[in-house]
């Protein structure tokens, strides 16, 4: 069976501009080339980059329609997920990608330059050390238990809300943490003391990979 291509993304998202499609298409070769130098994605997963990393990251875009001008921080971004795919999807939203491992950010900077992604900035730091900056949302992908993610996120969040026009009704979103997680989260949620909104990713995407994977949204 051949590895998924950009077509797996285009199967679910049809309103990309030609430039965005070109940017997404370029990610396959760029990450394969850079991953050979600096291993941030397992050898097995690099073949499924479009499904397991890019489409997975875009779960957030399937649920949230971020308006122009928002500031979003991706904590523990690794090789740039979910931040890089989201920055392609939302070119008028600013994404700040943070990781404590500097060499991972080197890949993001190279990818950013190669595909011209000016709405991405990077910072080599531990998230707890970020002071005097506030963001509309924190995004993250399975880097730590929800309790820790929420502890790190709270000081970084603005208290903003915005309305998104939906097909049937308008939805109001409040600043918060949006993270992608998998498996049985009952104990993790209980220990976090939060009451998140949870969405099964398998309700959005048909692929087997997304079974028992969730988008978790905690309002500030």
25 assigned ligand-binding residue = no
Mean pLDDT of 62-87: 95
Return the axis-axis angle of helices 18-37 and 102-115, rounded to nearest 10°: 150
195 assigned ligand-binding residue = no
pTM for the model: 0.95
Please tell me the predicted confidence (pLDDT) of residue 17: 97
Over residues 135-157, the pLDDT tens digits come to: 999 999 978 999 999 999 999 99
Q: Residue 50 above 80 pLDDT?
A: yes
Over residues 158-209, the pLDDT tens digits come to: 988 888 776 667 788 899 999 999 999 999 999 999 999 999 999 999 999 9
- Residues in a beta bridge with 140: 179
69 assigned ligand-binding residue = no
Nearest to 75 by CA among 54, 100, 47: 100
Element (H, E) at 146: helix 146-153
Please tell me the predicted confidence (pLDDT) of residue 45: 84
128 assigned ligand-binding residue = yes
Q: Residue 2 above 70 pLDDT?
A: no
Q: Left (φ > 0), alpha (ψ -120 to 50) or beta: where does 116 sit?
A: left
Q: Residue 1 above 60 pLDDT?
A: no
Domains of the chain by start residue, with CATH:
7-219 (3.40.50.150)
81 assigned ligand-binding residue = yes
Give phi and psi for 51, each to the nearest 5. -85, -55
Q: Rounded to 5 degrees, what angle do the CA atoms 85, 163, 24 make?
A: 15
């Amino acid at each position: 069976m051949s590895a998924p291509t950009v077509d797996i993304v285009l199967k679910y998202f049809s309103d990309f501009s030609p430039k965005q499609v070109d940017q997404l298409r370029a990610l396959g070769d760029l990450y394969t080339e850079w991953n050979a130098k600096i291993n941030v994605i397992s050898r097995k997963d690099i073949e499924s980059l479009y499904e397991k990393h890019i489409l997975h990251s875009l779960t957030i875009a399937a649920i949230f329609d971020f308006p122009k001008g928002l500031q979003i921080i991706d904590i523990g971004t690794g090789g740039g997920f979910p931040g890089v795919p989201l920055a392609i999807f939302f070119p008028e939203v600013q994404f700040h990608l943070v990781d404590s491992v500097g060499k991972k950010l080197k890949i993001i900077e190279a990818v950013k330059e190669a595909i011209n992604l000016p709405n991405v900035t990077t910072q080599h730091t531990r998230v707890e050390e970020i002071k005097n900056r506030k963001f509309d949302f924190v995004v993250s992908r399975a880097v730590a238990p929800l309790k820790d993610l929420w502890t790190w996120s709270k000081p970084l969040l603005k208290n903003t809300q915005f309305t998104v026009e939906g097909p049937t009704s308008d939805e109001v979103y409040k600043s918060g943490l949006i993270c992608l997680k998998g498996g049985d989260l009952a104990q993790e949620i209980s220990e976090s003391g939060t009451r998140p909104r949870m969405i099964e990713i398998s309700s959005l995407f048909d692929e087997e990979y997304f079974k028992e994977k969730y988008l978790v949204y905690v309002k500030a």
